[in-house]
Structure 1
Amino acid sequence: MEVIKTGKHLGAEIRGVDLSKPLSDAQFEAVSQAFFEHQVVVFPDQRLEPQQQIDFTKRFGTLEHHVRKESRLEGYPEIFVLSNILDEAGKPIGALDAGRFWHSDLSYKQHPSMLSALYSVEIPEKDGVVYGDTHYASVVAAYDHLPDAMKKRLEGLSAVHSYAYYRRKNRLAQMEEAARGGRVIEEPELSEEQLRSVPDMSFPIVRTHPVTGRKALFVNEAHTSHIVGMDQEEGDRLLAELYAHIIKPEFRHTHRWRRGDLLMWDNTAAQHKATFDYALPLRRLMYRTTVRGSVPY
């Protein structure tokens, strides 16, 4: 196995590993160490069936079933489909615009996800140019580089993470895009039962990584609705300051996709954002598995 560092604070390529076959305990331990060290890792040139992706990622822990049932892969509820491909009825076969805002996956859950693994089945490409990059930012490095006064200010503060807030924000963005003349395919409405399954959760703004013990910022523009006990206007200003700090160029890394990439990222240590610079007939099809994490502290 060879680990090639690709970014300053996060990002590495792991070569010499065939994830379609079970890894030995020693191989898995080496992969795990590299993953938590580099926060975002890619395994290139993989040829994975859905069950093989599930079998590999579930070695890290319990896999989540996403609340959006219509975007789960048939027969494999652990796999969340990300795609702009439409079925014969003109409906998306997966989540069409997931990742519009900077976020960490499932930060609104009682046990926010530890890691996500995204496998590229089909990528948007034309004339040798690949579209749909994914951008990452290290919230560990961002915390480390905060002024001491800001670190002190954040001590003891908590923020609310809300899937309902995200849905409203995403819907507003879709309406604005439609007003500009863009083609928008709306997400299906969630049932009351689905929404009740993801109630708002309050977590520390600064959390401790359960594996590495490092401190990290745990707020994101997609899911964080407000700071607990703080005036909304003051809280919004503080959140905006943190969001701008997190995505400074020195904390970021961009992945350009290749077919067969299995990209895995640490949701405790990093945030990510998709790039929507493609449209049909350029097609994108990705399979995501997500490992449940622990309650932030």
Structure 2
Amino acid sequence: MRRVSPAALLSLALPLGGCEGVLNPMGAVGEAERTLIFTAVGLMLLVVVPVIVLTLWFAWHYRASNTRARYLPDFHHSTAIEITVWAVPCLIIAILGYITFETTHSLDPYRPLTTAEAGVVPDPAAANKPLEVEVVALDWKWLFIYPEQHVATINEVAFPVNRPVDFVITSDTVMNSFFIPQLGTQIYAMAGMKTQLHLIANKPGTYFGQSANFSGDGFSDMHFNAIATATPADFDTWLDHVRASGRALDAGAIAELEKPTIAVPATYFGSVEGNPFQAYIDKFMGKGEAMRDAMHGADAAPAGETMPGMSGHSGMGN
């Protein structure tokens, strides 16, 4: 019989490294999702573990050499066993169905976070107002636009800790997926459409963000830093640093960003011209010159948030 080497056993555990962020959440949404994962796995193990244990026990106890085992060739029914093997799994399925239904709605990525859900004390100064960040998936980088602060960044996004963040997401290229594992849900970025994702960080730090959907040559390098600042003042300092860059997100900068590039370092734009996010959506909605007009500050007509035949939100996030 061949022995299994320690290296082979270790290699079986390597795929679990991809679960590190999900199982070490730093935000209320991520914590709720981890709780759901552990609860669901625990309930399913109530069936799996006894089956495995009893299979091994039966094979050992009723082996041919065990003459003390009772041999009952006419046994064909046990009411107690029938009730157990049907009632327990049905009960577990009912519980799983309930908690999955409840959390699917409470963790809907389109649903704004309440103060209680976010696990924070309301901040009278900010009134716990969500920070809006517009996100555009490009080849192969992420563009973050702050519409209220009038700044933009590439492959770096920041927000104060304990403040809800409303990400509004689209794509200028193929379908992609926006994901910050330690903060929670991933959601798709699609050309000509808006998707939304509400997250919060309850601990300061720099978190890994990534594309979770294969999108071409630069997919493996399409990641970014999500910085949760310890205080609102630290966030303001970060904004000042971005504004000090002197760059403007104008038509020329947009044209450069749309060129496919790989492993792009964090880049700052201290000002934003027009409404580039809406322009990215309009260019796929038959608006003609909408991209040029929006970059010059013209009001763009509102675009629908869903494509025909794609109503509902819950299918967008996982």
TM-score bracket, shorter-length normalisation: under 0.3
- Higher relative contact order structure (alpha carbons within 8 Å, sequence separation ≥ 6): 1
Give me the TM-score of the superposition, normalised by structure 2.
0.22
Give me the TM-score of the superposition, normalised by structure 1.
0.23
- Identify, as 1 or 2, the structure richer in strand: 1
- Identify, as 1 or 2, the structure richer in helix: 2
